[in-house]
Amino acid sequence: MILHLDKHTPQELIEKTVVDFDARFFCKEKYIALVTSSAIKNIPHYLAPYTLQDWVFDDDIQLSSSQYKPSRHTITLGKNAIGGDSGNMIIMAGPCAVESYEQMDACCHYLKTEGINVLRAGCFKPRTSPYTFQGLGEKGLEIMVEMRKKYDMAIVTEARDASNVDIVIENADIVQIGTKSMFDYALLAACGDCNKPILLKRNYGATLREYLQSAEFIMSRGNENVILCERGIRSFEHNTRYTLDLCGVAWLKEHTSLPIIVDPSHAMGIAYGIPDLARAATAMGIDGLLIETHPNPEIARSDSRQQLAPEAFSAMIKSIKRVAKAIDRHVV
């Protein structure tokens, strides 16, 4: 159950609800939001006089649900907003990992030429093998901060774990939680305690319900600026890296109010299929795309097979714009 309480609700009553019902609460400008398990269907009697509005749910998908907020949340990412009635579809692009100043500079140069305003690259890389490139860490973040200034772009990078979440929150405009960290509750809590937009990637083995429960962990601490990102789930098929779950995207569009971004790069894992998937996802009326691109994919230190070369990236952007226009979306 979600309650919107009057700002003058006595603190001891809120604290009593937290203890009695394992509730969570956070303060907004005009109300205090209090969230209990969905098993609770009635307003605690002592809160009734202070309740402005209440919502009852079938399950614990509450703050993220379209039942609570029927229209898509508006979230501002740098110069542009997504969601609400913005009609915008944002492109977040960049290499898998920051490798050097020169690589990022070359990349930003062509991204800007294509009108891209959000630079995405990894500094703290969650790699499957310890014998592969783990990212430049803080040095990489410094390079991204320099790129933000030089090219006037918003920057998004992944907080891999509790050892780097604070520095990423401090420096990035948008904080990414990667597929492997979707169940990392310390990370979710830290992201819930800040007010930066959080790009929450779906774990490749998570159901949609588990995915939204992770979003609820962030939102129930007060940060409602969560962006969902479908990036492929593991299926029986191994010719492609993962399977892009566009059925899941349709389900999320219907059942949640959170902006939805699609990442065809990690789903496909091979450059040739990515423009097709990007166009298919665009046609669904999503809020954005995450695309990996590298000035010279052949020498990329991670995910080299899936990063688009500059020419392929440019051709993809042109074709996406045509699809977006056909459904009255504006690529930003």
Q: Can you tell me the distance from the alpha carbon of 139 to that of 167, in angstroms, rounded to the nearest whole number?
A: 12
Q: Is the distance from CB of 154 to CB of 116 less than 8 angstroms?
A: no
The residue with tokens 């990022």 is: 104
Which of ligand PEP, Mn ion, none has residue 153 at its interface (CB below 5 to 8 Å by kind)? Answer: none
One residue of 231, 253, 301, 321 binding ligand PEP per CB under 6 A: 231
- 44 binds ligand PEP, rule: CB under 6 A: no
Which of Mn ion, ligand PEP, none has residue 307 at its interface (CB below 5 to 8 Å by kind)? Answer: none
Q: Can you tell me the distance from the alpha carbon of 105 to that of 49, in angstroms, rounded to the nearest whole number?
A: 58
| Least Å from the CB of residue 145 to Mn ion | 20
Which amino acid is it at 178?
Answer: G
| Least Å from the CB of residue 205 to ligand PEP | 12
- 294 binds ligand PEP, rule: CB under 6 A: no
- 241 binds ligand PEP, rule: CB under 6 A: no
Q: Is the distance from CB of 291 to CB of 308 less than 8 angstroms?
A: yes
Q: Is the distance from CB of 36 to CB of 102 less than 8 angstroms?
A: no
The residue with tokens 């009697």 is: 45
**For the purposes of burial, counting CB atoms within 10 Å of the CB of 298, is it exposed (0-12), middle (13-18) or buried (19 or more)?**
exposed
- 266 binds ligand PEP, rule: CB under 6 A: yes
One residue of 63, 82, 89, 96 binding ligand PEP per CB under 6 A: 96
Q: Can you tell me the distance from the alpha carbon of 210 to that of 141, in angstroms, rounded to the nearest whole number?
A: 30
- 221 binds ligand PEP, rule: CB under 6 A: no
- 213 binds ligand PEP, rule: CB under 6 A: no
C-beta of 44 vs 295, nearer to ligand PEP: 295
Tokens of 160: 């891999």
Residues 120-149 that bind ligand PEP (CB under 6 A): 122
Which of Mn ion, ligand PEP, none has residue 288 at its interface (CB below 5 to 8 Å by kind)? Answer: none
Q: Site residues (CB under 6 A) for ligand PEP?
A: 96, 122, 178-179, 201, 231, 266
